[in-house]
Amino acid sequence: ARGADGGDGASVWQHVFLLPEYLKDDSKKMKSGLVFVKLANPCSGEGTIYLFNMCLPQLFEIKVFKEKNHSWFINESVQSGGLLHFATPVDPLFLLLHYLIKADKESFQGKFQPLDQVVMDDMFPDCILLLKLPELEKLLQHVTEEKEVDKKKYYKYSKEKTLKWLGKKVNQTMAALKTNKVNVSARVQSTAFFSGGQVSSDKDEDYVRYAHGLISDYIPKQLSDDLSKYLKLPEPPASVRNPPSKKAKLSDEPVMAKEDYTKFNSKDFKTVKKNSKMTAAQKALAKVDKSGMKSIDSFFGTKHVKKK
């Protein structure tokens, strides 16, 4: 396995990716067709990089796991940053919803429009690729009212239908959280700790809140608030949502050129020292997540930033 690092003496930037296995099988059929494109993030509206498979076609989002002070050894080479990129399939309806809501708010208030007039974007012209995705008509039924005139479909954003659709998304996300045994609250975690792994299953509200947090990363803030009401979640004490600008970004983090090559992850080091003096119970408490509301960022090593 030597020599696969592409290193011929020159500095080569190596990106570490996890990609769905089936892309490998599809690759037999295609010579080109995988392309990184910048599209409007449905939560923040900011440009975000997605991977588009022209052949299926299918859209993938790219999330980056990064922790401070990490690097890779890749065969006989070193790669700074220690980033790990995940490409996972994304429901394109979240991205379409961004445009449907925008159109409803701005130009076409209350009017039915053909999809190709809704999904237009000077900033991110590649958004038209979304129109190539399969079964759009079926997807759009979840979030729009539709009309057919002369065999052409016209759509109008429906908040009611959208909330119902999002409610189902929350449900299936909750089920996955339970299957994956993700600790969703302080109470669940410490209970599990003290009673030897017995996670109480009656804290459904914690799961709903957590799932709502995950889904909220794909919808605008206003809709997230509406969804919270729809799910009858009690108001969080203060706004604990992440500002949209804190989204996991694609490998653009500048790597500091420090002279000290031996700069280790000092945080890890401190944690180790501190933990060694803590009792088991203290450790369990230290791990407790106090925000009560998680977002995708928590999976990718970016810090939670709370407003105020």
Partner 1 sequence: MENSYEETIDKRRVHLRPDTLRDPAPASLHLLPCEVPVNRPTPVGRFFTPAIRMGRDGLEASFRGRSLRGEEVVVPPGFVGYVVTEEKAEVLMGKQDDHERQEQELLEPPEALERDCDRFMGATASFSSFTVWGLESIPGPDAKLRGALSWPSLAAAIHAQVPED
Residues from 266 through 285 that contact partner 1 (CB under 8 A): 268-269, 272
Cβ atoms of 300 and 68 within 8 Å: the answer is: no
Among 110, 149, 252, 277, binds partner 1 (CB under 8 A): 252
Quick check: 199 binds partner 1 (CB under 8 A)?
no
Cβ atoms of 222 and 201 within 8 Å: the answer is: no
Give Cβ neighbours of residue 190 (< 8 Å, ≥ 6 apart): 284, 285, 288
Determine the interface stretch with partner 1 among 95-103, 178-186, 226-234, 238-246 (rule: CB under 8 A): 178-186
- Rounded CA gap, 70 and 67, in Å? 6
**E strand or H helix at 208:** helix 204-215
Give 111 or 287: the residue with its C-beta nearer to partner 1. Answer: 287
| Min CB(186)–partner 1 separation in Å | 15
| Min CB(55)–partner 1 separation in Å | 8
| Min CB(276)–partner 1 separation in Å | 9
Q: Which residues pair with 53 in a beta bridge?
A: 34, 58
Structure letter (DSSP) for residue 113: B
Among 110, 122, 232, 257, binds partner 1 (CB under 8 A): 257
Cβ atoms of 216 and 241 within 8 Å: the answer is: yes
Give Cβ neighbours of residue 147 (< 8 Å, ≥ 6 apart): 112, 153, 154, 155, 156
CB count, 10 Å around CB of 212? 24
CB count, 10 Å around CB of 62? 20
| Min CB(51)–partner 1 separation in Å | 7
Site string for partner 1, 110-149 (x = CB under 8 A): -----------------------------x--x-------
Determine the interface stretch with partner 1 among 97-105, 146-154, 213-221, 228-236 (rule: CB under 8 A): 213-221
Quick check: 54 binds partner 1 (CB under 8 A)?
yes
Give 103 or 214: the residue with its C-beta nearer to partner 1. Answer: 214
Determine the interface stretch with partner 1 among 98-106, 112-120, 173-181, 193-201 (rule: CB under 8 A): 173-181
Among 120, 255, 278, 305, binds partner 1 (CB under 8 A): 255
Give 111 or 132: the residue with its C-beta nearer to partner 1. Answer: 132
Which of 180, 160, 171, 159 is CA-nearest to residue 211?
Answer: 171
Give 149 or 256: the residue with its C-beta nearer to partner 1. Answer: 256
Cβ atoms of 203 and 177 within 8 Å: the answer is: no
Determine the interface stretch with partner 1 among 99-107, 110-118, 222-230, 298-306 (rule: CB under 8 A): 298-306
Buried b (16+ CB within 10 A) or exposed e, 93-119: bbbbbbbbbbbbeeebeeeebebeebb
Quick check: 288 binds partner 1 (CB under 8 A)?
no
Quick check: 193 binds partner 1 (CB under 8 A)?
no
| Min CB(108)–partner 1 separation in Å | 26
Determine the interface stretch with partner 1 among 57-65, 147-155, 222-230, 231-239 (rule: CB under 8 A): 57-65
Which of 200, 131, 213 is CA-nearest to residue 174?
Answer: 213
